[in-house]
Amino acid sequence: MDRIRLGHGSGGKLMHQLIAEHLGPAFGIREFGDSAILDMNPKRLAFTTDSYVVSPLFFPGGNIGDLAVYGTVNDLSVAGASPLYLSTGFIIEEGFPVSDLKSIVSSMSNAAATAGVRIVTGDTKVVNKGKGDGIFINTSGIGIVFNGLDISSSRIRKGDKVLISGEIGNHGVAIIAERNGISFDPPVVSDTRPLNSLVRAMIEITKEIHFMRDPTRGGLATTLKEAAKESATCIRIKEGSLPIPQQVKGACDLLGFDPLYVANEGILLAIVASAAAEPLISVMRKHPYGTNAQIIGEVQDSPGGTVLLETAIGGTRMVDMLPGEQLPRIC
Amino acid sequence: MDRIRLGHGSGGKLMHQLIAEHLGPAFGIREFGDSAILDMNPKRLAFTTDSYVVSPLFFPGGNIGDLAVYGTVNDLSVAGASPLYLSTGFIIEEGFPVSDLKSIVSSMSNAAATAGVRIVTGDTKVVNKGKGDGIFINTSGIGIVFNGLDISSSRIRKGDKVLISGEIGNHGVAIIAERNGISFDPPVVSDTRPLNSLVRAMIEITKEIHFMRDPTRGGLATTLKEAAKESATCIRIKEGSLPIPQQVKGACDLLGFDPLYVANEGILLAIVASAAAEPLISVMRKHPYGTNAQIIGEVQDSPGGTVLLETAIGGTRMVDMLPGEQLPRIC
């Protein structure tokens, strides 16, 4: 068997074979009931879902498989939860190479191990050739919310500091470069990675983290605008403090993109009490995924619902959400 | 806006608008963080996922939306859990009519209300025209396992009775008829519906339910074979006791299908202690979704891992899983 057939999505023998040979062993699932039964006794659960339709499926720094695991791990992490269990739902196009499926599943398995989460249940569907695009993956996840933590845009206050965990723009530029056959030297590599250990390190020193999110689709600008809108505050960012790699700057100039709108997959935005900002930055910089952490701005009262960017030459400009599509199918 | 554009999957304004106008109100979600935070204090959770790729999207008795809700509700129910929370992930093809999306979302909202579950988190992706097929929906679900209940194929024992909650074959035949422009009089209608209240009624009178599953893709035959294989028992079924509607029989004869392999979406298979069988049947028959409940067979020791069908004329035949694909994209 080297290509996926419609029968692999049928619920019958071919599907059982696919699960038994490829998916079950990769995820360490031995029983194939339709639900996973989980022993846990939490007070507050976080629950999230994301479908991944990234194109191309393989790109510098990752593939749709680890992206699907880390993306959902990160959504739970920025909700202030410790990610525990993931589900995975595959929609595979008839004719998809099984070797590619194996690589993707193996990446998912490694990514789950790296992040310390377990993939506990799954589903496989197959659609006719020409009715999909290789493979789409949904992952949903459950985590336990850290005690005493309350992450919500409603907690954002005047005076809060805005922190970013590292360089922006790498994921989006890596994808667009791969898609268009552009190469950089050194190459731009996706930042796909799990943020749960970074978040845990931060939470261990303070509960004064008011808001966290990972700026994926729509980029940093869209996430900042969401935060400003939801909290009815003004978020003021210093352009000069934004960690944008030279390669990303160059690529964006070349392609006509604004790095503020380019997707990231391993970057954390945090809005925190002013007194907690410096201690957090110093903890973040000690973590491998936070070495370039920066304070990039602060929260003001007005004009509410806006994001202002102080440019390098001393002006300010209003930052809005991504209006429509910049880079389709980035995740 | 009457058609979905690529920008609706971008994470930006268009997506926010789509969520704010259509998805949020339908599901009663006001905050759009990436994770839902759930207050609960369970001992054992059930967690499940399913992607729905049914074609056509609308069929007699339902559409992909209520199918996606009830399918996941049912997976939790047959795990012996009370379904509570659902996530929903949409993969929409560029150009998809927004009016269809609205119908589907409205069906999901109604289905969630009917089943007594809440859709608490979601995700929307858009793929280029020609890279999808209208809409695919993933739902994942969380439920709390009923105290004292242990549903597992390993509990199936010699002497156990095999129960089915109603007529088989309706969903598959409704789909295939719609797909091929065949009509029946009276029409064959999908049995898409939530099984949680039926399961609750059953559990209230006995914990001696050893195994439950809803025979969807692959049909009753595949589910029986899974149960026999996993428990290394022989499941002996009386063909004459199988509730197969006349319309389904006729359609299957016409189209060359075996109703045993045709998908159901609102039917429950239960394998239960012998003494519990009659009391369960009488409770099931009082429930609107169990009026045609039947004891269809029993469990024997050997030959282990097999399903034997006693035919109407007194012979027996071995029933295997669906070998490959019979009806692609049935759910």
- Name the residue ranges covered by the structural domains of chain A: 6-145, 153-319
Report the C-alpha gap between A82 and A95 in whole angstroms.
Answer: 38
Q: Are the Cβ atoms of B324 and A12 closer than 8 angstroms?
A: yes
* pLDDT digit string, tens, across residues A161-219: 999 999 999 999 999 999 989 888 888 999 999 999 999 999 999 999 999 999 998 89
Any B CB within 8 A of A258 CB? no
- pLDDT number for residue B328: 84
Quote the pLDDT of residue A26.
Answer: 72
Pairing, β B209-213 against β B306-310: unpaired
- Is B16 in Cβ contact with A321 (below 8 Å)? yes
On chain B, the residues whose CB falls within 8 A of the CB of A128 are: 133, 328-329
pTM of the predicted structure, to 2 decimals: 0.93
pLDDT for A301 beyond 60: yes
Q: pLDDT-derived band of residue B217, with 50, 70 and 90 as boundaries?
A: confident
Please count the CA atoms within 13 angstroms of the CA of A14 that sit on its side-chain side. Answer: 21
Which of A9, A35, A42 shows the shortest C-beta gap to B75?
A35
Neighbouring C-beta atoms of residue A247, cutoff 10 Å: 20
Query: Which pLDDT band holds residue B29 (cuts at 50, 70, 90)?
Result: low
B186 prior amide bond cis, ω within 30: yes
- pLDDT, one tens digit per residue, over A37-74 is 676 666 788 999 999 999 999 999 999 999 999 999 99
Q: Which of A16, A40, A49 would best serve as a mutation to test chain B binding (most B beta carbons within 10 A)? A: A49
Look at residue B243 in the predicted model and tell me its pLDDT: 97
Secondary structure of B88-147 in the HEC alphabet? Answer: EEEEEECCCEHHHHHHHHHHHHHHHHHHCCEEEEEEEEEECCCCCCCEEEEEEEEEEECC
Concatenate the DSSP letters of all residues of B14-32 into one string.
HHHHHIIIIIHHHHT----
Tell me the residue type at B89: G
- Please name the member of B35, B52, B226 whose beta carbon is closest to the beta carbon of A48: B35
| Position A1 pLDDT exceeds 70 | no
For the segment B255-263, the average pLDDT, to the nearest whole number, is: 92
Does pLDDT of A306 surpass 90?
yes
> Alpha-carbon distance A6 to B8, whole Å?
29
Q: What is the pLDDT of residue A32?
A: 53
Tokens 């723009």 found at: A169
Percentage of the residues of chain A whose pLDDT score is greater than 90: 73
Picking from B151, B144, B186, B180, the residue whose alpha carbon sits closest to that of residue B45 is: B144
| Length of chain B measured in residues | 331
Tokens describing residue A324:
């429509």
The better pLDDT of the pair B41, B128 is held by B128
pLDDT at A300 over 60: yes
Give the pLDDT score at A197: 98
Rounded mean pLDDT of chain A?
A: 91
Sort out which chain A residues have CB atoms less than 8 A from B31's CB and list them.
152-153, 230
Give the CATH number of domain B6-145: 3.30.1330.10
B210 vs A: CB within 8 A:
no
- Write the residue in A125, A152, A326 that is nearest to B53 by C-beta: A125
Better pLDDT: A30 or B309: B309
Q: Under 8 Å CB-to-CB from B151, ≥6 apart: which residues?
A: B78, B79, B80, B209, B210, B211, B212
Q: Does A158 touch chain B (CB under 8 A)?
A: no
* Among A97, A86, A87, A96, residue whose Cα is nearest residue A126: A96
How far is it, in rounded angstroms, from Cα B308 to Cα B330? 26
**pLDDT 10s digits, B310-328:** 998 889 999 988 877 677 8
pLDDT, residue B21, reads 80
Q: What's the pLDDT score for residue B63?
A: 98
Statement: residue B14 has pLDDT above 80? no
Segment B281-303, tens digit of pLDDT: 999 999 999 999 999 999 999 99
A106 touching B (Cβ < 8 Å): no
Helix (H) or strand (E) holding A249: helix A246-255
Span A246-258, mean pLDDT?
A: 91
The pLDDT of residue B33 is: 57
Name the residue in chain B with its Cα closest to that of A320: B13
Q: Across residues B241-247, what is the average pLDDT?
A: 95
B278 to B151, B206, B286, B294, B296: CA distances (angstroms): 19, 11, 13, 9, 12
From chain B, the residues in CB contact with A32 under 8 A are: 226
CA dihedral B176, B180, B185, B187 (to 10 degrees): 40
Q: Which of A9-13, A87-91, A226-230, B262-266 has the lowest mean pLDDT?
A: A9-13
pLDDT in tens, B124-149: 899 999 999 999 999 999 999 998 88
Report the CATH superfamily, name and number, of domain B153-319: PurM-like C-terminal domain (3.90.650.10)
Distance from CA of A183 to the nearest CA of B (A): 24
Say how far residue A113 (Cα) sits from the centre of its chain: 17
Cis peptide before A186 (omega within 30 of 0): yes
- Rounded Cα distance between B176 and A277, Å, is 61
Q: Do A48 and B42 touch (CB under 8 A)?
A: no
Closest to B139 measured CA to CA, from B104, B172, B176, B93: B104
Provide the CA B274 distance to its chain's centre, in angstroms.
Answer: 26
Q: Do B130 and A127 touch (CB under 8 A)?
A: no
pLDDT at B135: 96
Residue A259's alpha-carbon distances to A163, A218, A252, B287, in angstroms, are 17, 10, 6, 59
Nearest to B127 by CA among B47, B256, B9: B9
What is the rounded CA–CA span in Å between residue A257 and residue B83? 45
Give the Cα separation of A190 and A198 in Å (integer).
Answer: 18
Tokens 């999207």, located at residue = B57
Contact A49 B132 (CB under 8 A): no
